[in-house]
Chain A
Amino acid sequence: MLAIEILGLEKTYNVGFWGKTPKHALRPLHLNVEEGEIFGFLGPNGAGKTTTLKLLMGLVFPTSGTARILGMELDDPRMKAQIGFLPEQPYFYDYLTARELLEYYAQLSGVAAKERSRKADEVLAKVGLPNVAGLQLRKFSKGMLQRVGIAQAILHDPKLLFFDEPMSGLDPLGRRDVRDLMEQLKHEGKTVFFSTHILPDAEALCDRVAVIHDGELKGVGAVADLTSGVRGKVEIIWSGRIIPPAFKGLGADCHVTGDTVRAIVSEECQDAALDALRNAHLRLISLSPVRNSLEAYYVSKLQPGKAAAEVRP
């Protein structure tokens, strides 16, 4: 069964004073997310990521099209009991303590009364907020609120999670925690659908990604496929500022940055290049194959014309 099945979901807002100018927040979108995968929904700010998530959560209603989540209609409460949602920059009832909020939400999600308190403590520990359960949310920092947001999403042990920009507002440590948590969710067999504009996060986490821009789907693919293509080139980095003359003959592309030199040569010339370095008594730092990056894919999808020129060979 598909975790998410989006069938031509479309949202058009009428803007302008008379509401006559249509603004296409989302062009008809077709997208499937398999059960058990981490799916990244990529795109710049304002691309339509949040609109898609709001449509799926039933917060806004589609102009046309439909979608099914876990095989159920979008307004089916049984489905809602099995999903968790972290909105972008979440905000909560600031007069409640973290535990009160989670117990309230657990109640609304149908968690049995005797389990609520235990569940709340459990997820707070999981998101790294074990000692602030009794603190009012108005005293929480932005990063802490983000963690509470994740806690409330996983609170009722849902099968499918929707995260809108889960890393925003977090420090590097926090981002690593969230990445680890998402990995863990995947291990537990859950499906995670998350939007982001931070590509390294997506590259590190996702099984598959979709790129959306201006409300339009630009491409979908498995991250492994997109990044595995070795292009027959290697990157060599050594210390010093000297480029041995032999490199000229190898057709290398060299850049000097600080005390290191970075050169890209074709695979066939790899040995010749290493010999040249050895002869010049230069210290090798690294040698690695050049892979396609998700960034290159992303850029190529966003700006098809410009992409070829900008992506390094």
Chain B
Amino acid sequence: MKAAPMSRVFPIALNTFREAVRDRVLYNLVAFAVLMSGAAILVGQISVGIEKLVVINLGLTAVSLFGVVISIFIGIGLVSKEIDKRTLYTLLSRPVRRWEFVVGKFLGLVGTLVLNTFFMAIGVFGALLYVAHHFAKPDAWVLVALYFIILQFVIVTGLALLFSSFSSPLMSAVFAFSLFIVGAFAEDLRGFARMTKGITRWIATGAAYLVPNFSALNVITPVAHGQPVSGQLILYNTAYALIYATMTICGAVLIFERRNLK
């Protein structure tokens, strides 16, 4: 009776995914489809020579924002909702470790977001085909930008989960959104930190490195201009996102392992 942890993590992930689907989270795709087709038709009509640019910029920005909103709003409820509704009681009285629950919840939401992004990507490429009539080689970089956007969701989900493990949903949402905004300027923050002196420098540097770094994950603008993304950047961004997400999950596990479920 010693089954591998994954035999419990995956069912939990799958159930999280099922919950998202049944709670009609994927309905956001309808809004996205309306937005993309509207934009494609509109820029196709006015035709000012930057149709592709507009479609890629708008499409990828929408993919990113839709996904971040979903990952925060579901992420903050991943743990706290199960505590509030007491669905956790019958789960944790089974041979399920608390960390398995946390990891399963995380994987479930990330899986949901990957699927969601997949459908959105089809929308973006569809709109691209509509305005440009054919694909060009640099359009492949759009895939890299989408991949980076998914990495961004991985980090945001980890953060939401972390906050959800100790704070109320409202506060969690506030924290996660603030970090999302601040993280977009993470490189500037590290720059500010380098300009300070003394003890401030230590604190500022520490804070700047702790903030999630979303700036390197945003390559929408260069990709819209058909610029390539270096393999090194893909490698290090992947490493960073996985490391950061692991960090947030470890934090969530450490907190949640100790938590009294009143």
Contact = CB atoms under 8 A, between A and B. Distances in A.
Direct A–B contact in complex, judged by CB atoms less than 8 Å apart: yes
Interface of A: 54, 57-61, 77-78, 80-81, 83-85, 87, 89-93, 95-96, 104-105, 107-110, 149, 152-153, 156, 162
B262 A60 contact: yes
Interface in B1-57: 1-3, 7-8, 11-12, 15, 18-19, 22-23
Nearest to B24: A95
Nearest to B101: A108
Interface in B178-200: none
B93 interface: yes
A295 B15 CA distance: 45
A207 to B, nearest CB: 23
Interface residues of B, number: 29
Interface of B: 1-3, 7-8, 11-12, 15, 18-19, 22-23, 85-97, 258, 260-262
A110 B258 CA distance: 25
Contact of B22 (A60, A95, A109, A152): A95
B90 A149 contact: yes
A91 B95 contact: no
B188 to A, nearest CB: 39
Contacts of A96: 15, 18
B97 A77 contact: yes
B121 to A, nearest CB: 27
A85 B8 contact: no
B19 A92 contact: no
Contact of A81 (B86, B95, B261): B95
Contacts of A60: 260-262
Contacts of B23: 95
Given A60-B261, A95-B19, A105 B94 contact: yes
Contact of A57 (B87, B89, B97): B89
Given A85-B90, A87-B89, A95-B23, A108 B11 contact: yes
15 contacts: A59-B260, A60-B261, A61-B258, A77-B95, A77-B97, A78-B1, A80-B95, A85-B90, A87-B90, A90-B89, A93-B15, A104-B11, A110-B95, A152-B90, A162-B93
B103 to A, nearest CB: 14
Contacts of B95: 77-78, 80-81, 108-110
Contacts of B12: 108
A8 B1 CA distance: 30
Nearest to B23: A95
B87 A91 contact: yes
A85 B87 CA distance: 12
Given A57-B89, A92-B87, A108-B95, 5 more contacts: A81-B95, A90-B89, A105-B90, A108-B94, A110-B1
A182 B86 CA distance: 24
A301 to B, nearest CB: 27
A136 B174 CA distance: 33
Nearest to A87: B89
A108 B93 contact: no
A10 to B, nearest CB: 13
Contact of B94 (A80, A90, A162): A80
B89 A85 contact: yes
A93 B87 contact: yes
B90 A54 contact: no
B162 to A, nearest CB: 21
Contacts of B85: 91
Top 7 closest pairs, chain A to chain B, by CB: A85-B93, A77-B95, A95-B22, A60-B260, A80-B95, A87-B89, A59-B261
A84 B7 CA distance: 20
A83 B93 contact: yes
A80 B93 contact: yes
Contacts of A54: 89, 261
Contact of A91 (B11, B86, B96, B261): B86
Contacts of A108: 8, 11-12, 91, 94-96
A92 B2 CA distance: 26
Nearest to A138: B22
A308 B16 CA distance: 56
A63 B134 CA distance: 68
Contacts of A83: 93
Nearest to B97: A77
Contacts of B89: 54, 57, 59, 85, 87, 90
B3 to A, nearest CB: 6
Contacts of B88: 59
Contacts of B92: 57-59
Contacts of B18: 95-96
B19 A81 contact: no
Contacts of A109: 94-95
A115 to B, nearest CB: 14
Nearest to A75: B97
Which of A91, A92, A107, A108 is most buried by chain B, counting CB atoms within 10 A of its CB?
A108
Nearest to B8: A108
A7 B88 CA distance: 26
A92 B7 CA distance: 21
